Structure 1
């Protein structure tokens, strides 16, 4: 793609560029991480590491982000997602009791310590899932929603495809090791983003530090919740095959970052590496707003319309994350055909705005901001005559 500087006639964008040294953008959920930073990321002990600024969708770090890996208990993020979805759709509720089967009760590894034959409220199972990382809670939730864990795994895989998690396949609700149970760091980041964006009313469960069940008090296994780094979720994982992993998210100075690391050699490394990588992401970059949704980008000529031109806008906020030293790399290109043929309908996609910066790129649809009917009768005749005599 040919790179062009900001056009001086694009006043909205020019104003935004003039404010780059001062602006920050609050967290806004983006559809998919779409661009990469050119800044050199630090070395890390993690086999996989993926760091994204959710305020702009910019990927700040990608180490083996598409490599297949064992998600271990980070699988429980998908289990929680499906539970949240079932609650919002009315298929269950936080107060619904789910029975505890022998299969759930006998699960090994980390546990909530539910009793076989008892019934446990969905909300308590959620806390057991997310705070205690209970494998027994995961199976009880899966069976309560789908009838069996295998049927629930089918729902997990269908949801993964729906969310765009193309490198993932689930065999169970807990993350219990299985050769056909895998994901990628990129996919977990995508899932984490959807958890935050789609179900903000439930996100507080990810940050609860302790939960007591059956007389046993357990602390949240996410070590970053106990550090003053601004992290408020999401989930740890550990198996022999996957190593130590963590999906973590937090907000600092109006910027929400999300980090996935996996394959770390120890629990101590899982404590230290995420703090270091998140600090790098927060301290080394800033989010710069360019346009607000609905703000006019340009006024474009219209062919044979009742109006001679139409304003075009973006349907979403447009912002970029940059290292301050990379601000001069920002380039913007409008891609549309002029004049636009009539009729034009408000909200119609008429072109794209390509934002290119520091090795990354994102494309945003340009939308017509008004209806422009095709010219008819004498108006059309007059327009044709004017074209003939130019």
Structure 2
């Protein structure tokens, strides 16, 4: 009995020492400081917010707006209301759009899967508008759908006025809402990570009767630089600054980091890396 008691006592001492060491590490860890204006770090599995900096403040999301179009594409495919091989004709308005675009031509026809790649990798506003018009008839109708969906997903700090993500006083979101949207996207439709983790792909197009190939390059240059990074979307406008919604996984730990209002591409990547490192350290998944 004495030997058993000693073994139990030794085990208890080891356990207590481990807890004390964990508390010391937690208490002595320097606070996370992010230079970007808004930031949020979320545990994708649980939805727990691990870090926030003005995470509920209304801010221009830039092309992170397109995450909602991507979500709605997957949602409609899952419901059987849309098919990956379904043809979509590009309107004059979509072809003439300003901002980031693929260069789609009026009356050109692409399938839904190709348009998804056009939105997810090079952030094609022309492709996003073409999909929105295809799904809802007009941009105005699709924007209504975007706002209804945002409300359904619990995005309380978000209001959309356009599909591509142009700056507008009434077009805003928050770092928390975007991390919430990203979580719904990757947890319900994990195929998006297969798409968004590709640094480039090639699609075939028919333009004026001529078959051409177009290389689509991913604007998320953090993917090959950070171990475990597998998505998700970049954004930039004058009003939004440089934005990034990044996803990463190590072992079983899955993180979503949102940075808004960074000063440059390099700055948004540096701040995102700081948050991801902090998150994986918190979840002990290094």
* 1:330-379 per-position Cα deviation (integer Å, ceiling 9, x unaligned): xxxxxxxxxxxxxxxxxxxxxxxxxxxxxxxxxxxxxxxxxxxxxxxxxx
1:279 aligned onto 2:277: yes
Match of 2:64 among 61, 74, 77: 74
Unaligned runs of 5+ in 2: 1-14, 20-25, 204-211
Cα shift at 1:40: 5.7
What RMSD over aligned residues (CA atoms) do the two structures have, in Å? 2.2
Distance 2:167 2:259 in 1: 18
Distance 2:36 2:77 in 1: 35
> Which range moves more in the overlay, 160-169 or 83-92?
83-92
Question: If each structure's strand is expressed as a fraction of its own residues, which one has the higher value?
Answer: 1
Unaligned runs of 5+ in 1: 1-17, 23-36, 288-390
* 1:34-58 per-position Cα deviation (integer Å, ceiling 9, x unaligned): xxx9876421111001011223433
CA contact (8 A) 1:142 1:149 kept: yes
1:246 aligned onto 2:240: no
Match of 1:86 among 76, 86, 102: 76
Cα shift at 1:177: 1.7
Aligned length: 256
CA contact (8 A) 2:83 2:112 kept: yes
Cα shift at 1:271: 2.2
* Residue of structure 1 equivalent to 2:196: 206
Distance 1:148 1:122 in 2: 17
CA contact (8 A) 2:118 2:216 kept: no
In structure 2, the CA distance between the partners of 1:40 and 1:80, relative to structure 1 (3 Å rule), is same
> Matched residue of 1:108: which SS?
coil
Cα shift at 1:233: 0.8
* Residue of structure 2 equivalent to 1:46: 36
Structure of greater relative contact order (alpha carbons < 8 Å, 6+ residues apart): 2
1:225 aligned onto 2:194: no
* Residue of structure 1 equivalent to 2:121: 131
* Residue of structure 1 equivalent to 2:12: none
Distance 1:179 1:48 in 2: 17
Cα shift at 1:88: 1.0
In structure 2, the CA distance between the partners of 1:169 and 1:201, relative to structure 1 (3 Å rule), is same
Match of 2:140 among 118, 129, 150: 150
Cα shift at 1:217: 2.2
Regions of 4+ moved over 4 Å: 37-40
Over alpha carbons, which structure has the higher Rg? Answer: 1
With normalisation by structure 2, the TM-score equals: 0.84
